[in-house]
């Protein structure tokens, strides 16, 4: 399993997509934090805490997971991948785990960067900052969300296979469908895997006053989504003839 | 004794289409076996079933008695180059092989060894999207050789190659067999593999049509043959055989192998046998192959 994991992480590192999207996550997160810290006024501690959840790694690693897995079909590399690792269940597990790890690592870099830059700007403007315990609390939540979304992306990519359809579908779901469901039926919408449950973990309210799941429950729901996606993807991958 | 590759009663059905039907054959070590048949004969399906990529409807396909997906480290036993060998276009050849080396737990030094073996050392750090078809095929072969396997499987490896590429491929096949590897190479073009194979397995419509040494299955390229009719076929046959020629009965004619019509005419003249008809008849490997793979009615 460690060999497979090593190979999958090597795959990630040896294409430009990961560097490009990882860089985009870092750039976008920094942009939001810098502008907010520079332009905002009279921050409360809660607002500062929420500011440091502006880690866009989750969205980008979700996309990377989808692209990485569906890309195996797009570039028709799935055949050589399975020839090298014929146990398809282990292969999917390694890929899921590698994107979860990559998500956590990227989130660590992005969160550390936005916390450092944000704290510097806020303190230079005489605005309040938050202590190490609160920073650590935000950090692990960001890491957890990124890891879970990275794994979920792989499962979605394995299920949909068509890279473009999968990427567009995930974006439409995250930015249109899930917010719409949240607005129309928040009791259902708060279980959403791309926005609602992750924000439940982060304790950030993106939908006005709609009630989100408690962090522990939200984390369990996210784990459930990943497990469900993994089970469905594994079943499909094991049964599928590669012609 | 278990053969390096054994296929037994293999059948594969896709919906209503029976792509492969009760196919059985072996591939021996140190030999190049040509897996021949027209397009759509079921060659790729058979190879993919052998490699665990498609699930056989019935039958087995094994390497040293074990299915591909039960091999502990498959790349140390089997190297495969499939027809749709594809690579991530943004990854370099070296990185592609590094990933496969990591998966198969092969030392990274093997990457340089196989790159040199296929002549890609200088292009190793270029992205694959800039590779020609021939370079991609070489990279696919490098990937197959990474684990120094005892069996090599190649599906239509000459497709899209230019003449120098085809020449290189033929030499590579012979070289691999000379190192003791069992080599199974599929093709729909007999001419492209006839010079490099020891044995052939011929299929058509998913069924086995012949297997064994090339000359045994398709007949050697015996040179010119002659079809002759005489007033007394029996006497002419005796005369030709007394001159050491092989004579086959073919309806009301005789088929004399490896002899020109002039030679047959001379023998008949000496023996004073009256001839009714005399004509050359060729039997090339290609015509034998066509006859073998023709639709049965």
Top residue of A1, A70, A78, A84 to mutate, by most chain B CBs within 10 Å, is: A84
A90 touches B at CB < 8 Å: no
- The CA distance from A92 to A95, in Å, is 5
- DSSP-derived secondary structure for B144-200: HHTT--SEEEEESTTTT--HHHHHHHHHHHHHHHHTT-EEEEEES-HHHHTTT-SEE
Angle at B56 between CA B51 and CA B60, to 5 degrees: 75
Mean pLDDT of chain A: 93
Task: Answer whether A79 sits within 8 Å of B84, measured CB to CB.
Answer: yes
Task: Answer whether B54 sits within 8 Å of A241, measured CB to CB.
Answer: yes
- The CA distance from A107 to A142, in Å, is 7
Token duo for residue B274: 């009256």
Note the pLDDT of residue B297: 37
The answer for residues whose C-beta is within 8 angstroms of residue A2's C-beta and 6 or more apart is none
- The CA distance from B188 to B194, in Å, is 11
Chain A nearest-CA residue for B76: A84
- For residue A87, the chain B residues in CB contact (below 8 A) are 69
A87 touches B at CB < 8 Å: yes
Task: Answer whether B54 sits within 8 Å of A243, measured CB to CB.
Answer: yes
Pairing of strands B253-257, B182-187: unpaired
Stated length of chain B: 297
The answer for residues whose C-beta is within 8 angstroms of residue B33's C-beta and 6 or more apart is B27, B182, B183, B184, B185, B197, B198, B199, B200, B201
- The H or E element containing residue A45 is helix A45-51
Helices (runs of H) and strands (runs of E) counted in chain B: 11, 13
ipTM of the complex: 0.87
Q: Which of A3, A77, A243 is facing B48, going by the closest CB pair?
A: A243
* Closest CA of chain B from A89, distance in Å: 12
A12-46 b/e with 16+ CB inside 10 Å = b?
bebbeebeebbeebbebbbebbeebbeeeeebeee
Note the pLDDT of residue B295: 59
Task: Write down the residue that tokens 């003839």 correspond to.
Answer: A241
Could you give the angle at which helices A57-74 and A132-160 cross, rounded to 10 degrees? 20
Q: Which of B85, B103, B143 is facing A4, going by the closest CB pair?
A: B103
Q: Which of A3, A75, A82 is facing B53, going by the closest CB pair?
A: A82
- Tell me the backbone φ, ψ of residue B151, rounded to 5 degrees: -130, 135
- For residue B90, the chain A residues in CB contact (below 8 A) are 15-17
A74 touches B at CB < 8 Å: no
- Rounded to the nearest 10 degrees, how much is the dihedral formed by the CA atoms of B253, B258, B264, B270? -130
- Print the SS3 string covering A149-180: HHHHHHHHHHHHCCHHHHHHHHHHHHHHHHHH
- What pLDDT band is residue A59 in, cutting at 50, 70 and 90? very high
Stated length of chain A: 243
The answer for residues whose C-beta is within 8 angstroms of residue A171's C-beta and 6 or more apart is A63
- The H or E element containing residue B275 is strand B275-281
Residue pair B201/B34 in contact by the 8 Å Cβ criterion = yes
Token duo for residue A59: 């969205």
Sign (positive or negative) of CA dihedral B246, B249, B254, B255: negative
Task: Write down the residue that tokens 């278990």 correspond to.
Answer: B2
A82 touches B at CB < 8 Å: yes
Note the pLDDT of residue B165: 85
Could you read off the pLDDT tens digit of each residue along chain B, which spans 297 residues? 778 999 999 999 999 999 999 999 999 999 999 999 998 999 999 999 999 999 999 999 999 999 999 998 999 999 999 977 789 999 999 999 999 999 999 999 999 999 999 999 999 999 999 999 889 999 999 999 999 999 999 999 888 788 888 888 889 999 999 999 999 999 988 877 888 899 999 999 999 998 998 878 876 555 667 889 999 999 999 999 898 888 878 778 888 877 888 889 999 999 999 998 998 775 566 777 777 787 553
Which pLDDT tens digit goes with each residue over A191-228?
Answer: 999 999 999 999 987 766 678 899 999 999 999 999 99
- For residue A163, the chain B residues in CB contact (below 8 A) are none
Q: Which of B48, B100, B143 is facing A242, going by the closest CB pair?
A: B48
Region A148-176: mean pLDDT is 95
- The CA distance from A46 to A138, in Å, is 11
- Print the SS3 string covering B25-89: EEECCCCEEEEECCCCCCHHHHHHHHCCCCCCCEEEEEECCECHHHCCCHHHHEEEECCCCCCCC
SS3 content of chain A, % helix, strand, coil (to 5): 80, 0, 20
Region A224-243: mean pLDDT is 94
- For residue B69, the chain A residues in CB contact (below 8 A) are 86-87
- Tell me the backbone φ, ψ of residue A115, rounded to 5 degrees: -65, -45
Pairing of strands B207-213, B253-257: unpaired
- The CA distance from B10 to B31, in Å, is 22
- The CA distance from A114 to A138, in Å, is 12
Which pLDDT tens digit goes with each residue over A64-119?
Answer: 999 999 999 999 899 999 999 999 999 999 999 999 999 999 999 999 999 999 99
Task: Answer whether A76 sits within 8 Å of B84, measured CB to CB.
Answer: yes
Note the pLDDT of residue A146: 96
- The CA distance from B95 to B117, in Å, is 17
Alpha carbon B159 to its chain centroid, in Å, reads 13
- The CA distance from A162 to B12, in Å, is 26
A34 touches B at CB < 8 Å: no
Task: Answer whether A86 sits within 8 Å of B69, measured CB to CB.
Answer: yes
Note the pLDDT of residue A42: 87
Task: Answer whether B99 sits within 8 Å of A14, measured CB to CB.
Answer: yes
Nearest residue to B143 via CA among B79, B84, B69: B79
The answer for residues whose C-beta is within 8 angstroms of residue B261's C-beta and 6 or more apart is B226, B228, B278, B279, B280
Region A19-30: mean pLDDT is 94
Region A22-29: mean pLDDT is 95
């Amino acid at each position: 399993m460690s060999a497979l994991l090593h190979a999958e992480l090597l795959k990630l590192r040896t294409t430009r997509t990961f560097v490009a999207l990882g860089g985009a996550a870092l750039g976008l997160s920094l942009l939001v934090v810098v502008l907010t810290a520079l332009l905002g006024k009279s921050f409360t501690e809660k607002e500062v805490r929420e500011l440091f959840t502006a880690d866009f790694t989750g969205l980008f690693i979700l996309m990377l997971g989808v692209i990485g897995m569906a890309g195996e079909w797009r570039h028709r590399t799935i055949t050589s991948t399975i020839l090298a690792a014929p146990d398809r269940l282990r292969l999917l597990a390694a890929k899921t785990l590698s994107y979860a790890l990559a998500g956590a690592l990227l989130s660590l870099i992005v969160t550390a960067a936005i916390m450092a830059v944000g704290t510097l700007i806020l303190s230079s403007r005489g605005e309040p900052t938050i202590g190490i315990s609160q920073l650590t609390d935000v950090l692990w939540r960001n890491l957890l969300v990124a890891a879970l979304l990275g794994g979920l992306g792989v499962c979605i990519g394995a299920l949909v296979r068509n890279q473009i359809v999968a990427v567009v579908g995930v974006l439409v779901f995250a930015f249109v469908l899930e917010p719409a469901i949240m607005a129309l039926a928040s009791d259902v919408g708060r279980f959403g895997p791309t926005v609602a449950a992750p924000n439940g973990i982060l304790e950030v309210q993106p939908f006005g006053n709609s009630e989100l799941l408690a962090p522990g429950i939200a984390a369990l729901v996210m784990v459930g989504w990943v497990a469900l996606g993994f089970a469905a993807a594994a079943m499909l991958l094991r049964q599928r003839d590669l012609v | 004794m278990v053969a390096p590759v054994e296929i037994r009663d293999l059948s594969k059905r896709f919906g209503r289409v029976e792509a492969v039907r009760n196919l059985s054959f072996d591939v021996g070590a140190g030999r190049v076996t040509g897996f021949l048949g027209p397009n759509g004969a079921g060659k790729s399906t058979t190879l993919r079933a052998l490699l665990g990529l498609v699930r056989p409807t019935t039958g087995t396909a094994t390497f040293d008695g074990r299915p591909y997906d039960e091999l502990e480290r498959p790349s140390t036993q089997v190297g495969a180059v499939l027809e749709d060998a594809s690579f991530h276009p943004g990854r370099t050849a070296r990185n592609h092989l590094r990933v496969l080396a990591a998966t198969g737990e092969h030392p990274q030094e093997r990457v340089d060894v196989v790159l040199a073996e296929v002549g890609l050392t200088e292009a190793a750090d270029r992205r694959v999207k800039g590779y020609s078809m021939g370079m991609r095929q070489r990279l696919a072969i490098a990937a197959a050789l990474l684990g120094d396997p005892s069996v090599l499987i190649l599906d239509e490896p000459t497709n899209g190659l230019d003449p120098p590429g085809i020449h290189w491929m033929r030499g590579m096949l012979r070289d691999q067999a000379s190192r003791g590897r069992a080599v199974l190479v599929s093709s729909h073009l007999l001419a492209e593999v006839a010079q490099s194979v020891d044995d052939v397995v011929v299929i058509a419509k998913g069924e086995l049509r012949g297997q064994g040494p090339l000359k045994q299955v398709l007949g050697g390229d015996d040179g010119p043959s002659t079809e002759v009719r005489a007033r007394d076929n029996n006497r002419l046959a005796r005369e030709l055989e007394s001159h050491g020629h092989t004579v086959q009965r073919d309806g009301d004619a005789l088929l004399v192998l490896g002899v020109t019509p002039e030679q047959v005419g001379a023998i008949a003249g000496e023996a004073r046998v009256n001839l009714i008809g005399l004509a050359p008849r060729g039997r090339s490997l290609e015509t034998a192959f066509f006859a073998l793979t023709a639709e049965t009615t």
